[in-house]
C-alpha cells in the first residue's frame, strides 16, 4: 500500500506546500483523505482509473477547496464522497454554480454520503469518531489490504483519536501548532500531543501533516516538530508535499 502526501499545509498554500490532501493507493481503490488544493496532483500519481473514495473530515475550506477542480482529474472511475452529517446539502451547494462545475456535469459519476449513517455502503471496514475541534470533525480508521490507517486531522488531544489509532500501521495526525503551543478555544495538536496519541495507541508509525501555514513558515520548522515528537515516540516523520510512504 502506498501513501502519497499531495498537500501538507493547513489553512492556505505557500511555498511549503498545498493544503491538506492525502492519497492512499491500494490494489482495488484510490482512497483520498480530505480535498485541499493538493488534490490537483492526483493525476501525477494515478494513471489507471479505479473506484475512488474521498473521506472529508469537516468543511473548513482548507479541507474542501480542491473540490472545485474535480473536473480536471482523469483517474476517477467513480467517486464516492463521504463526510459528516450535513455533507449532502453542503456539497450539493459547494460543487455547483456559481462556485464551480456542478456534479451533474462531471465526466464520472459522483455519490454523496453522510457518516456514520452510510457506513454500511463502504466495501471495506471504516470506523469514524468525532474529534475535538471547533466544528464537527471526523477522524477515520480504515482497514484495507491487511493494513490499518488512522487519520486524525484538525483535533486537540482526545480519547477518540487514541481509540481510532489503536495498533494502526500508520497514524496520519495533524500538527498545526509548534512544540508547546496550545489553544483550548481552537483545538489542534502540537508535536508532543500527536506523539502521545501514537504512543498510547501503540501505532507502528506516525506521519505529521497539516502544518499551519502561518505558524510553520519553512520546511525546516517541520523538522523541528519531528525532533520534538521523537522525544515521546520514535517512529515519526514530518511530511512534505510529494512524500511517499509504503506500509
Neighbours of 2 (CB within 10 A): 12
Q: Which pLDDT score, from 0 to 100, does residue 190 have?
A: 98
Pick the closest to residue 164 from 172, 62, 133 (CA basis).
172
The CATH number of the domain where 17 resides is what? 3.60.15.10
Residue 37 lies in a domain: yes
pLDDT digits (tens, 9 = 90+) for 82-95: 999 999 999 999 99
Residue 44 lies in a domain: yes
Identify the DSSP state of 18. Answer: P
Residue 246 lies in a domain: no
pLDDT digits (tens, 9 = 90+) for 132-144: 999 999 999 999 9
Q: Which pLDDT score, from 0 to 100, does residue 50 have?
A: 95
CB 207 within 8 A of CB 5: yes
Residue 16 lies in a domain: yes
Q: Which domain holds residue 197?
A: 2-241
pLDDT digits (tens, 9 = 90+) for 129-188: 999 999 999 999 999 999 999 999 999 999 999 999 999 999 999 999 999 999 999 999
Q: Where residue 193 falls among pLDDT bands split at 50, 70, 90?
A: very high
Q: Which pLDDT score, from 0 to 100, does residue 232 have?
A: 98
Residue 247 lies in a domain: no
CB 237 within 8 A of CB 34: no
Residue 103 lies in a domain: yes
- The number of domains in the chain is 1
Residue 72 lies in a domain: yes
Question: Half-sphere exposure of 212 toward its Cβ, with a 13 Å CA cutoff?
Answer: 17
Amino acid at each position: 500500500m502506498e501513501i502519497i502526501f499531495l498537500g501538507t499545509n493547513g489553512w492556505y498554500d505557500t511555498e511549503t506546500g498545498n493544503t491538506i490532501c492525502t492519497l492512499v493507493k491500494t490494489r482495488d481503490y484510490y482512497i483520498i483523505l480530505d480535498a485541499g488544493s493538493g488534490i490537483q496532483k492526483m493525476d501525477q500519481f494515478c494513471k489507471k482509473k479505479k473506484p475512488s473514495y474521498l473521506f472529508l473530515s469537516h468543511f473548513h475550506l482548507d479541507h474542501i477547496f480542491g473540490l472545485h477542480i474535480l473536473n480536471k482529474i482523469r483517474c476517477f472511475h467513480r467517486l464516492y464522497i463521504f463526510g459528516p452529517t450535513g455533507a449532502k446539502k453542503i456539497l450539493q451547494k459547494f460543487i455547483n454554480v456559481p462556485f464551480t462545475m456542478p456534479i451533474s456535469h462531471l465526466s464520472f459519476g459522483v455519490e454523496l454520503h453522510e457518516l456514520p449513517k452510510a457506513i454500511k455502503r463502504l466495501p471495506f471496514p471504516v470506523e469514524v469518531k468525532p474529534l475535538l475541534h471547533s466544528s464537527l470533525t471526523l477522524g477515520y480508521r480504515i482497514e484495507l489490504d491487511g493494513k490499518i490507517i488512522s487519520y486524525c486531522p484538525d483535533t486537540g488531544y482526545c480519547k477518540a483519536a487514541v481509540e481510532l489509532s489503536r495498533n494502526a500501521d500508520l497514524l496520519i495526525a495533524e500538527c498545526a501548532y509548534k512544540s508547546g503551543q496550545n489553544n483550548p478555544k481552537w483545538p489542534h495538536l502540537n508535536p508532543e500531543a500527536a506523539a502521545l496519541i501514537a504512543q498510547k495507541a501503540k501505532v507502528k508509525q506516525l506521519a505529521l501533516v497539516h502544518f499551519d501555514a502561518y505558524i510553520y513558515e519553512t520546511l525546516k520548522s517541520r523538522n523541528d516538530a519531528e525532533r520534538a515528537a521523537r522525544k515521546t515516540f520514535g517512529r515519526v516523520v514530518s511530511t512534505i508535499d510529494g512524500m511517499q510512504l509504503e506500509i
